[in-house]
Amino acid sequence: MKDRPTLTTSSGAPIADNQNSMTAGPFGPVLMQDFHLLEKLAHQNRERIPERTVHAKGSGAYGTLTITKDISRYTKASALQLGKKTEAFLRLSTVAGERGAADAERDVRGFALRFYTDEGNWDIVGNNTPVFFIRDGLKFPDFIHTQKRHPRTNLRSATAMWDFWSLSPESLHQVTILMSDRGLPQSYRHLNGYGSHTYSFINAEGERHWVKFHFKTMQGIRNWTNAEAAEKVAQDRETHQRDLYESIERGDFPRWRFCVQVMPESDVGKHWYNPFDLTKVWPHKDYPLIEIGVLELNRNPENYFAEVEQAALSPANIVPGIGHSPDKMLQARIYSYADAHRYRVGINADQLPVNKPRCPMHTYHADGAMRLATNPNPDAYYEPNSFGGPVENASVKEPPLKLSGNADRYNHRDGNDDYRQTGDLFRLMTNVQREQLFGNIKAAMEGVPLEIIERQLQHFFRADPAYCAGAAKALGIDFRPQMVAAE
C-alpha cells in the first residue's frame, strides 16, 4: 500500500482510531470527552442547508396510540398504561434521496414517531428495519457520505457504497435486508416500523428492563421488484406520499400493532450477541414479542412545510418510565439529531406547533432566533433562584446504571460475529426471494470494481456459501472464496 496521509481533526491533530467511539468499558456508554466523535457528528449536521442531511424526502400524518395490555410491571410511563390513548405524529421517509427524489427507490425507510404524552414528548426515531449498517456513531458521517453524491461527478456512487460495506462487515445484515424484496416497499402503509435501538423501561419500583419497539403493519407487507418500481417512478415520483395522504383522506386509516421485546437488566452478557448492538436482533425465541397496543394514523397535516418539513424528532426526547441504553449508535443520535434540528430549524424549534409538547413545559432557555415564548416570571431567569421558578423533581430520576472497564476506543469488530444472523435470515428466504436478492445485488453492483465485489462476496460466503454462490452466479463471476484471505 502506498504511503497515505495521516487522518487529523479539523485543527490538525492526528487521529489514532477512526473506527471506535471512546466508551467506559466495552459495553459502557460513550464518553463526552470523545471530541473526535462530537466534531464528526457536528460537522455532518452542517454539511447541507436547508433540507435534512438524511431522510430529506418524507411524508407525515397524525394519529393515536391506544394501549391494550397492562405492562405496568415493566414501565411507569403514563402513555403506556392500560387503556391510555395518546396523540401521535409519524414521519415516514427515504434515507438517501434528496427532497426531489422518487419515493419508489431501493432504500431504508425512516419511521420517526412522536407521542404527545401528558409527561412530555416521547420520540422513537427508527426505521423499517430492526438493524442498521453500523454499530458506532463515529462511522455515521462516513457511511452517509457513501449514500450521497460523489464530490466530482455529482452522481450517486455504487463503488463508494460497496467499498464501505465490504470494508465494514457489520453492515452485512442490513445490506441483505436492503437488497431483499423488503428494500422496495410499495407504500408507507405496507411496511413495519422498528425503534431498532435498545431502550429501557423503568417501573414504579425503580427497576430497569431493556426493551425493543416493533410496529407491525396491519395492512400486510407489500414490496415491488426493481422493474415494477421503475415503471411506477416513470409515472409518479410521489407514490408513497400520494398513497398515504389519499388513504387517510378517504378514511382508510393505516394501523400498526405495537409490540415490545423485554429483557431483564441482568440478562446482559448471557447471550452470544451484545443486546446493545444495532446490527443485531434479539431472537424471538429468547424474547418473544408482546403485543401492547395499536397505532393508527387518522389525520393529514394542514400544511406540509409547517408540520412535516419542520418536524424535529429526536431520540433524546424521552419521558419518565422510558430510558436510553449503552447502544453506541443511540448515544450518538441523542446528540446528533437534536443538534441537527437546532441548526436546520432553529434553536427554538420546540416552540413550533408540531414540536411543542401538549403538556406544560418550563425551562430556563433564553432568547435565540425566532423565539415566541415569553417568561411568565421575569425575575426567575436563572436557577437556583428565590422567585418561584421551576425546580428539579428527584422522583423521575432513573436507577443507576452499573459500569465497568477502562475508558478506551474498543474495537467493536473484535470477537463480534457479523455473519450468524445474516446467514439465518438468508436461510429463511424462499427460492423466489433469494433470486430477487441475487438480482438486486447484481443491479446495485453495476460498475463496481471487481476487487470490491470479491471482497463483498467473501462476506456473503461467511454468512452462507449458497448466498455467495448465488450472488456470484448472478454477477457472472467465477469466484472461489478460498482465494480471498480472511481479514
Instruction: Name the percent of the chain lying above pLDDT 90.
Output: 80
53, pLDDT greater than 60: yes
DSSP annotation string for 348-388: TGGGSTTTS-SS---------TT-----SSTT--SSS-SS-
Options 20, 45, 121, 127, the catalytic residue:
127
92's CB contacts (< 8 A; 6+ apart) are: 58, 59, 60, 109, 110, 111, 112, 188, 240, 244
The whole-number average pLDDT for the span 14-20 is 88
209 part of the active site: no
Q: In which band, very low, low, confident or very high, does the pLDDT at 482 lie, cut at 50, 70 and 90?
A: low
Instruction: Please name which of 440, 16, 63 lies closest in space to residue 225, comparing C-alpha atoms.
Output: 440
Options 55, 173, 209, 459, the catalytic residue:
55
291, pLDDT greater than 50: yes
Question: How is domain 29-359 classified at the CATH fold level?
Answer: Catalase HpII,  Chain A, domain 1 (2.40.180)
420-434 per-residue burial string, b: 16 or more CB within 10 A, e: under 16 = ebbbebbeebeeeeb
**pLDDT score recorded for residue 318:** 94
**pLDDT score recorded for residue 35:** 81
Cβ contact 51:437 at 8 Å: no
484, pLDDT greater than 60: no
**pLDDT score recorded for residue 311:** 95
**pLDDT score recorded for residue 3:** 83
DSSP annotation string for 155-173: SB-HHHHHHHHHT-GGGHH
**pLDDT score recorded for residue 487:** 42
DSSP annotation string for 308-340: IIT----TT---TTEE--S-HHHHHHHHHHHHH
User: How buried is 303 (Cβ within 10 angstroms: 0-12 exposed, 13-18 middle, 19+ buried)?
Assistant: exposed
DSSP annotation string for 10-26: TTSPBPS-SS--EEEST
How many residues in total does the chain contain? 487
What are the extents of the domains in the chain?
Answer: 29-359, 419-487
154 part of the active site: no
**pLDDT score recorded for residue 371:** 87
